[in-house]
A and B are shown apart, each in its own frame.
Chain A
Amino acid sequence: MSAPTRDRVDDTPPSGTIRAPRRLALEPRQEVSRGVLVAVPVLAVLLALIVSALFLRLTGHDPVTVYRVMVRASFASRFGIADTLVSATPLILTGLAALVSFRVRLWNIGAEGQLYLGAVAAAGMALLLGDRLATPVNVVLMIVAGALGGMAWIAIPALARAWLRTNEIITTLLLNSVALLFINWLIFGSRSIWRDPDSGQFPQGQRIPAAAEFPRFGTTRVHLGLLVAVLAAVVVWLVLTRTRFGFRMRVLGDSEDAARYAGVPVRGMVLAVLLLSGALAGIAGAAEVGGLSRRLDPSSLAIGLGYAGIIVAALARLNPGGVVLVAVLLGGVRNAGTALQSLPDRVPMEVAVMLEGAILLFALGSEVLVRYRIQWPWSRPADDPAQGAGAAEGTDAAEGAADPAPGVDAADAAESAGGAAG
């Protein structure tokens, strides 16, 4: 602890020149650097791996073997990578769906249901069109149908949010269950066109016509949906950074008062952003039907792709490029689940689910590191003249205003009252 040397000649007793002993403490960050924004999610994933390793050890498995198998299954071979990309495809799209709404501080938790309805609409479109049209036309129409299906499903929460200020978290979340019941009913409980009439004892979806199948790349299962998803990420990025719509999204997400003041049509924006979010989730459903299951198959759709999209968006810190990367990572984890079962000591495939959950928990928990910096007992003052921004006092006000977390008022109050916090 080498305090800056001082050449002051006064009668300060020795205790005055020694810095006061300190403990581990948190201090609000004045400015968040880019490095922190990248390092924190990486740290979250590492911690998730470590904690999951403890669990594996406790249940009698060797974490090193498990992780090695997972990496080999998902990232080491050509087909492993292909399968990882297949798993990542819907995650990119649901991640983007979460991203666009979260950017505006609208919380669409219903990508799951919007994805189902997108799948229903896309499969319906394919079955209606039959073999009449060429594949490219079919594919485009299915994607459009998927988007419309997702938009239709979010329309009610979106309208209620824009005009009645209904909490969209609750409405979108609850509609997920309704959507699941609906697709199950289409296949198991009705004689709809989605159901294969010949499937008798074990009902399943009607296979879509060959002309509606999304083309695949080579001999892999990677399908056109991946291209669509990556393209969607590029488009979302361009919209956010280059267009008036994206600028208005950022203003609205930052401060609704500022948006009103600037004359941004707030209701219209809320509606448009939520519909866009629903459309992206719906396209994910269309891609799953057209590229993978090739029928409306509830069991292969209802694997939490919409919820995983929230994890993807959060880990990517609402960055479209980050969404693609994180989706591939998470796709690999999901994909590896099946490979684990083939291990001699039968590691359950739920390890993948556990890992996913651990990653989300650590990602959310590490958010505190973005907002605060740890003051280690032995740390020296941060003195970085390179970042010459901001006076000391100006930022205090900014913190309150720019704070993304709702309910912070109360937390601040508690903190300064010295109560609950600490």
Chain B
Amino acid sequence: MTPAPDPPATAGVDLHPGGRPVMEARGISKHFPGVVANDHVDLALYAGEVHALLGENGAGKSTLASILAGLYQADAGELRLAGEPVVLRSPREALARGVGMVHQHFRLVRRFTVAENVALGDRSQPLVMSTPDVQRAVVALGERYGLPVRPEAVVGDLTVGEQQRVEIVKTLYRGVDVLLLDEPTSVLTPQETEALFGTVRAMAAEGKAVVFISHKLAEVVAIADRVTVMRDGRVVGSQPVASTSVRELARLMVGRAIDLDVVRPPQRPGEVVLTLDHVTVDHDTRRGSLTDVSLEVAAGEIVGIAGVSGNGQRPLAEVAAGLLAPDHGRVVVGGRDVTGRGPRAARAAGLAYIPEDRLGTGLAPSLTIAENLQLTRPHGPVLDRRRWTADATRLMQEFDIRAPGPATTTSSLSGGNIQKVLLARELDAGPSTIVAAAPTRGLDVGAIDTVRRLLAERRLQGCGILLISEDLDEVVTLADRILVLFEGRLVHTCDAEGADITELGLAMAGAGR
């Protein structure tokens, strides 16, 4: 759920009293083999503003941010800090000059404590780091900006949201004036997103320039003062948020008008295709736990599992898909008891599984598209590669997978195309049951639309779908019934038709019943 857009606090106020930007990019160009990631991009950041960088995946937002943060060198153009031309050769140099970045994939040492991670790379530390000093500083920064973190906690034990706070504290500790947040909300729950917004506002209020990179329109409108829209490596618009609208931003970002409503005609569910019967998974630090979960998914319906991430979504998906044997209870797919019989048995019974971790679990990153499309198929001892290529060519066309060819390495694709490869394989197997975990997380608007339509289409064709998603909007849009998962238990059930969002939100926060 994305927070309701409220009017920016600074609307109508002169945003740039000083007139001079703290940081400026002029005519930045960056080429990668075959791709122009940035094409003469200009960007000006002012103290005390939240500046959104909006664009679809592949539009060049992350590349631009990486150049600002010293990670990449621009091929052409220049950077200026407080009007002075600078060359930032490394993230260290950028940090030293007050430019910090929080990456989408965190760069933390999992075995270190929060304080150790914060102090890592700080050359002003004495040879033996003064832990109490760093801990005090972490707590102080946390209070000042609304970033509660325990400095003595080990990073590997923290939730994703907490790790993000550590990343932000890390940059604040080094005293940044410009903070770049790359897709910060893509890993957060609605509540965590709210908290992050509070932090971002606090930082802007202290005179820092915050760059908020996102492809989510509602968020941009809710948090930013100014927005720069990028498409295909170019800036296609830059203006105060107050003077624009979600509709206009969407058109700028995608280059065409877009309609996100999915058709969900009512239909009578058929027989039950997936049953979880009193399933319990004892606690496992890697996955979390499930307690006495019972649910049924019928043919032709989508059952949505809402909940804040980390409340048992992963064991739920893995138990249903046969990857995890439950400690108690039974799993029945298409009338066959597949409890603890492994993923191949579940698949043979008609189940398709779209795991949350697409590249790494659902797909092997360095294999080709053709190979990944065969990953879960039964094989004879000798492979029939010619058929693989033919299959791949057909599926790439059918699912509109954009890549040079079937032999393209999967990891080189964009997020949307990666997900399409996964969906192509899983849906082409002709499943009766689909378990989809966070199927649109991190995708751009166009790809989200494709994925949702594909799922809705399968529902009409009589598939039973278990949709596990932290995106409450998505669950409400797609599902027929909604179950709320909290701390490994199903705590709330309702029909999606006329669902009460407040009630769902309360249940997700553990306050239901």
A interface residues (Cβ-Cβ under 8 A, vs B): 3-4, 6, 8, 12, 15-17, 19-23, 25, 27, 30-31, 242-247, 250-251, 254-255, 257-263, 375, 380-398, 400-402, 409-410, 412-422
Contact = CB atoms under 8 A, between A and B. Distances in A.
Contacts of A415: 91, 107
Contacts of A21: 87
B27 A12 contact: yes
Interface in B20-54: 26-27, 29-35, 37, 40
Interface residues of B, number: 89
Contacts of A390: 32, 34-35, 412-414
B58 A258 contact: no
B463 interface: no
Given A396-B62, A416-B103, 12 more contacts: A16-B77, A258-B360, A381-B76, A382-B31, A385-B34, A395-B32, A402-B365, A415-B91, A416-B101, A418-B93, A419-B121, A419-B123
A383 B414 contact: no
Contacts of A401: 359-360, 365, 411
B460 interface: no
A397 B63 contact: no
Given A16-B27, A22-B73, A262 B105 contact: no
B347 A247 contact: no
Interface stretch (B195-203, B241-249, B377-385): B377-385
Given A244-B382, A396-B62, A420-B121, A3 B57 contact: no
B401 interface: no
B109 A413 contact: yes
A258 B90 contact: no
A254 B94 CA distance: 34
A235 to B, nearest CB: 13
Contacts of A4: 29, 76
A19 B76 contact: yes
Contact of B121 (A17, A247, A383, A417): A417
B122 interface: yes
A393 B343 contact: no
B441 interface: no
A391 B62 CA distance: 11
A237 to B, nearest CB: 14
A218 B32 CA distance: 56
Chain B CB within 10 A, most for which of A6, A21, A390, A419: A390
B269 interface: no
Contact of A251 (B90, B105, B367): B367
A402 B379 contact: no
Lowest 8 CB-CB distances: which A-B pairs, in order? A418-B92, A419-B121, A417-B121, A398-B411, A390-B412, A381-B75, A392-B37, A263-B344
B110 interface: yes
Contact of A413 (B57, B107, B359, B363): B107
B381 A243 contact: yes
B78 interface: yes
A6 B40 contact: yes
A243 B415 contact: no
B382 A255 contact: no
B221 to A, nearest CB: 23
Interface string B340-365: 00111001000001010101111111
B291 interface: no
B140 interface: no
A30 B33 contact: yes
B27, B85, B233: residue with the most chain A Cβ atoms closer than 10 Å: B27
Given A4-B76, A391-B414, A392-B32, A258 B121 contact: no
A418 to B, nearest CB: 3
Contacts of A388: 34, 404
8 contacts: A25-B73, A258-B360, A390-B414, A393-B62, A396-B62, A414-B121, A418-B93, A418-B96
Nearest to B70: A418
Contacts of B359: 397-398, 401
Interface of B: 26-27, 29-35, 37, 40, 57-58, 60-63, 71-79, 85, 87, 89-96, 101, 103-105, 107-110, 117, 120-123, 170, 233, 323, 342-344, 347, 353, 355, 357, 359-367, 371, 374-376, 379-383, 385, 403-404, 408-409, 411-415, 417-418
A390 to B, nearest CB: 4
Contacts of A244: 379-383
A262 B109 contact: no
Contact of B33 (A250, A387, A397): A387
B361 A261 contact: yes
A245 B359 CA distance: 22
Contacts of B92: 417-419, 421-422
Contacts of A27: 72-73
A333 B95 CA distance: 49
Given A381-B75, A402-B366, A409-B110, A261 B379 contact: no
Contacts of B347: 263
A14 to B, nearest CB: 11
Nearest to A420: B121
Contacts of B104: 396-397
Contacts of B27: 6, 8, 12, 16-17
A166 to B, nearest CB: 20
Contact of A392 (B60, B109, B123, B170): B60
A23 B360 CA distance: 36
A417 B33 CA distance: 28
B162 to A, nearest CB: 16
Residue picked from B73, B123, B404, most chain A C-beta under 10 Å:
B73
Contacts of B107: 412-413, 415-417
Contacts of A419: 92, 120-123
Nearest to A395: B412
A380 to B, nearest CB: 8
A418 B365 CA distance: 28
Contacts of B415: 393-394, 397
A383, A389, A412 — most chain B CB neighbours (10 Å): A389
> Which of B85, B107, B364 counts the most A-chain CB atoms under 10 A from its CB?
B364
Contacts of A391: 35, 57-58, 413-414
Contact of A257 (B72, B74, B360, B380): B360
A387 B412 CA distance: 12
A419 B30 CA distance: 26
